[in-house]
Chains A and B, each alone.
Chain A
Amino acid sequence: MSKVSELHHTGLIGRQPEPDEASIRAKISHMEEGFATVWLITPAAIWLILFLVIPLVSIVIFSFWENTAQGLKPAFSLEFYGEYFYTKGFFDPEADRFLLPSVFIRTLGATIYFTLVTMALCLAVGYPIAYFLAMQVQAFKWQLALFLLCMVPFWTSYLIRAVAWLPMLGRRGLINQALLGMGIVDKPVSFLFYSEFGYTLALVQIYVVLGIGPMFFSLAKIDKAILEAATDMGATPFQIFREIIGPMSLPGVAIGMIFIFVMIMGEFATAVVVYGGKTSTAGTVILNYYGIANYPFAAVNALMLMLAMVIGIIVILRVVDIRKEL
């Protein structure tokens, strides 16, 4: 501080105190090391701005535009937001739609509900697998091999994995044949495919591997010595899980759940394949309105989906700071 007061001020900002020699050298050498940051990030940053930021911002903008016969017209119209939220007779106690949210909100609600159910199932199915790989398999080589075996389906087409359920769950599928053969039912049941059941099952099968990865990594990071110490001090397996393994694997669980959450919220292809288009998800609604060239309304639907997702992610992030976990 003493150095600053010695300086004679010149100009608006004033002459700045000169840094000492060592810090200059440190800074210069730091700057010189490696390639210049600007060049490293510029290409990717431009790509991200052009093809991620601008399209997302334009969804917001287009949601306010008017849809005319000549195409979209710049405007600030809340017409499509009204259409999204408003239900005729919502406030009229006499109407049969009294306090019934609009079909779009209900679709979004159903999508969220399905997503939560699937997330819970993925957690229930996937966590024991991650636990088994991280805690029960001793040799690292085996750990890696068994883990990769679980991850392989992630790198294959989920459309094909969805359609592969047909021979299992279809009306003449294996499960129906088994049920008929065992005499449990006397005619094929149809609730397996093209149904909530089939849809949920297919979603769990497709997305569970996404959750296993992060859960496995955070479980594998736990120092086994801590667990041994706890055992030596007389902790029961349940106590060890509740006090140590559970809390320490929470970040992995949160990250895995975020992955599954964002995937299923935007899901529409599996719904069409496995559910036979009998249902709408938030994603299919968006595509339908795009298909009939009602772009602003598609944009409103997309925004609401995005909003729901951001809220969901924030809720999950309250549990864990992702950046700390990397």
Chain B
Amino acid sequence: MARWTPERRRKLRVKAGFSIYYVIFLLFIYGPMFAMFILSFQGRRGGTSFPMRGYSLYWWNKLLEPSTVGDMQGAMGRSIILALMVMVITALFSTMLAMAFRKSFWFSNVLFYTILTGLMVPGVLLSLGMAILLRQLGLSPAWYSSGLAVHVIWALPFGYLVMMAVFNRFDARLEEAARDMGADEWTVFKEITLPLIIPGVVAAGLFGFTLSYDEFARTTLLAGAENTLPLDINASMTQRIRPTLFALGTASTLFSLLMISVFLGIYTILYRRSR
């Protein structure tokens, strides 16, 4: 048993202080969302602030029934489809890019900074450039074309950085061994490389999915006639804010959390297997 030296006491006090700060911090970043969750069950006559006037599913039901403003379900469906497309492309591109960057090639620096530019450029700028360009070309934007295009630009740097980190710790000797035993490139990739990097690919996909699903700025001018979910949420915010919005926010957040846990679950399983 360790002695209660003054030094140890001091350290424990510091640690306790930091722990308390951490809890306060969690309250700060989650608190407002919890308030929103609770208020989404506001009674029929209740408003957007406490106190609760009874509890009901009234606002949740309003969410489900077809409304006059926008169509939530349609928007959510489009957002999910878009997010899935972005997920696949991001995972694919970031894996390919990170594999290419294992060797040096002559404009690797340019490519590196171009990829990161996607992270640095504010969504409103990219949105604007694309929108004016499309207009000049006489093309009309749509969530599945121009929206998809810029969502990938946004998610790619995240997936790419994840995959770069994966390959940084990758043992290339395993591939060498397979090659020495006469495996061709596809076999090496399929049997050796992919099983080892698949957790990273899943993580890159997670970035693709969630970043696209929640993206607002890059879609503002590029979604075309039909809204994605964040655009729909934004539209309903410009009207009078009602608890329906809180129900929608809660639903959307729960969906995000569900997706994160699904991805983390898959990641954990694959990670264990790849060891």
Residues of chain A touching chain B, judged by Cβ–Cβ distance below 8 Å, are 30, 33-35, 37, 40-41, 43-45, 47-48, 50-56, 58-59, 62, 72, 125, 128-129, 131-132, 136, 146, 148-150, 152-153, 155-161, 163-168, 170, 172-174, 177, 205, 208-209, 258-259, 262-263, 265-269, 272-273, 283, 286-287, 290, 295, 298-299, 302, 305-306, 309, 313, 322-323, 326
Contacts and interface: CB of A to CB of B under 8 A. Distances in A.
A11 B161 CA distance: 47
Chain A at the B interface: mostly helix, strand, loop or mixed?
Answer: helix
Contact of A269 (B14, B50, B217, B259): B217
17 contacts: A35-B189, A37-B105, A41-B96, A51-B130, A55-B133, A155-B206, A156-B33, A163-B241, A164-B35, A168-B31, A172-B49, A173-B50, A267-B122, A268-B124, A290-B221, A298-B128, A326-B161
A158 B214 contact: yes
B168 A132 contact: no
B262 to A, nearest CB: 12
A266 B257 CA distance: 26
A55 B15 CA distance: 50
A173 B165 CA distance: 44
B124 A295 contact: no
A35 B111 contact: no
State the 9 A-B residue pairs at the shortest beta-carbon distance, nearest first. A266-B122, A55-B129, A40-B100, A160-B249, A164-B32, A51-B149, A132-B18, A155-B210, A164-B36
B29 interface: yes
A266 B48 contact: no
B131 interface: yes
The winner among B36, B99, B206 for most chain A CB atoms within 10 A is: B36
A37 B111 CA distance: 12
Nearest to A132: B18
B72 to A, nearest CB: 14
A313 B264 CA distance: 33
B140 interface: no
A62 B134 CA distance: 12
A281 B121 CA distance: 16
Nearest to B97: A44
Contact of A305 (B97, B122, B249): B122
A280 to B, nearest CB: 13
Given A34-B102, A45-B111, A58-B132, A157 B252 contact: yes
Given A48-B118, A132-B19, A40 B149 contact: no
Given A35-B185, A48-B115, A53-B114, A167 B36 contact: yes
B119 interface: yes
Contacts of A47: 93, 149, 152-153, 156
Nearest to B161: A326
Contact of A72 (B21, B126, B136, B245): B136
Given A43-B96, A155-B211, 20 more contacts: A37-B100, A40-B100, A45-B111, A48-B111, A52-B153, A54-B129, A129-B21, A146-B22, A152-B260, A155-B260, A156-B33, A156-B210, A161-B33, A170-B49, A173-B49, A258-B120, A262-B120, A273-B234, A286-B124, A299-B128
Contacts of A128: 18, 21
A52 B161 CA distance: 18
B129 A323 contact: no
Contacts of B118: 48, 52
